[in-house]
Chains A and B, each alone.
Chain A
């Protein structure tokens, strides 16, 4: 049975986020040969529709309204519900991002539907779709199915491979006008605090520091390495609690759960709470002075040494590689 599945494209800094392309790939699996419809909600969203099509959407519906310059649950829900009423999809896929986490339960409640959040893999067996998702912050996984009604899903960034971009694909782009009323929460300001560039949850490479970085300045060599690798800098709770960095950088059972291709843990002892947030990374490198540190148990590669010696050496070595790609 083919299903019609819609995918919410998420716009940040005037571009679609990677996770939206991954969500399209997930939607294709759910659709089982059915139509995948991209939805773009934003102030000037229409020019991104072709990207959704190039990554596999069959067509795109665009809802533009000046009130969409900031995400609000009420505004986005009104737009999305208008599309849902029109399209009557059998599945909806969101990215498991700040926005997707915030909006998807509201839509699920409106539709009186189940929602499978933070999915890292999807198994399809004919009509049957099984979702795999981490529980206990990755200490275990569950296979979950939707037993009744429309399938709502959020997919974790970096886990489901997007389809190959094909600029030659074509599809219709339609726009709908949505009347937005009664926004009960209003965004007055957005203060940019996250490091410029790469977002932790979507980063392919993460350089993380623990208590071993010793100070806020101690993060500097980590930042330099991250820059060379096009990665993001994260931290353990120990480093955050010690005041070396902002809690927004924290990776762990409280904090962010990340699954980059490469995770380099610098001066992190490897408490179980930290491991819960990063142990599903594809390749883990540990740098620690203490050869007994727990982090070495989950590391693919370990260097026993002072991070202040090792990290700058790594930065130099990576710089020597002409082409870096992840």
Chain B
């Protein structure tokens, strides 16, 4: 089984967003593997351990992404590929990322490609399905269970709380939803081993792409923070009176009932 996992480096979920001159400040922020991508890595490792084969973790990003790729290797991925866009792409969008990744994946003939259901920073969830479409393979998003029997695949996916049971066959791209598994922490021997595992660095040139080929279709004009909330009203008195007061406030002051 030849498995590929697409991963993204994101801000830690604990991080606050600070804007400096309209740009999100990255200095000093902790970065992590996008949490949904961790489920994808874990699933890939489990499938390889059962069925044999190899897991390749692929990221389109900048050179800092090596840290997250090493973490994927430490979890158990066999090799990693970093497509470094820093020099060539200034403000890529999901179209850009999907174009870069699918160009890299084209002809590699992976049986299974896994990705996160959504990245917690950009939050669009586009890249997985876009890549599948560009590669001409089917996809299933937001999966919570995956069973592979030969070339046949049985999947459960989350549809706003309901579970859809899907049948498909390989090759296939799936995106991981929470509940798929419990991602492992890298072990110390895993971290040691990861240092010696292959990590290939590529640039657009190596994919025979020019900057113009990945010119984004959308552009960010401005980033802003949500308006600060005024401190709320903490009610006082007997609980029963507070309950009464709250209902009346929701009605008269907040005007929502």
By a beta-carbon cutoff of 8 Å, the part of chain A in contact with chain B is 70, 73-74, 97-98, 101-102, 104-106, 108-110, 113-118, 130, 133-149, 184-195, 199-201, 246-250, 253-255, 257, 261-262, 272-273, 276, 279-280, 282-286, 291, 296-305, 309-310, 313-314, 316-318, 321, 324-326
Contact = CB atoms under 8 A, between A and B. Distances in A.
Contact of A139 (B16, B125, B132): B16
Q: How large is the interface on B (under 10, 10 to 19, 20 to 34, 35 or more residues)?
A: 35 or more
B73 to A, nearest CB: 23
Which 7 A-B pairs rank lowest in CB-CB distance, beginning with the nearest?
A114-B217, A194-B161, A248-B161, A184-B138, A117-B124, A109-B133, A313-B243
B104 interface: no
Interface centre among A74, A102, A191, A257, by most chain B C-beta atoms within 10 angstroms, is A102
A253 to B, nearest CB: 5
A322 B215 CA distance: 57
B188 interface: no
B14 interface: yes
B94 A74 contact: no
Interface in B123-182: 123-130, 132-134, 138-142, 158-169, 178-179
A141 B179 contact: no
B246 A98 contact: no
B125 A301 contact: no
Contacts of B256: 261-262, 282-283, 326
Contacts of B159: 98, 190
Given A98-B160, A314-B246, A309 B234 contact: no
5 contacts: A115-B124, A140-B223, A191-B165, A303-B242, A305-B242
A145 B216 CA distance: 11
Nearest to A131: B218
Interface of B: 11, 13-14, 16-17, 19, 24, 35-36, 93-95, 98, 118, 120-130, 132-134, 138-142, 158-169, 178-179, 215-226, 229, 231-235, 239-240, 242-244, 246-247, 249-251, 254, 256-257
A262 B221 CA distance: 31
A303 B124 contact: no
Contact of A136 (B118, B120, B240): B120
Contacts of B138: 73-74, 184-185
Nearest to A318: B247
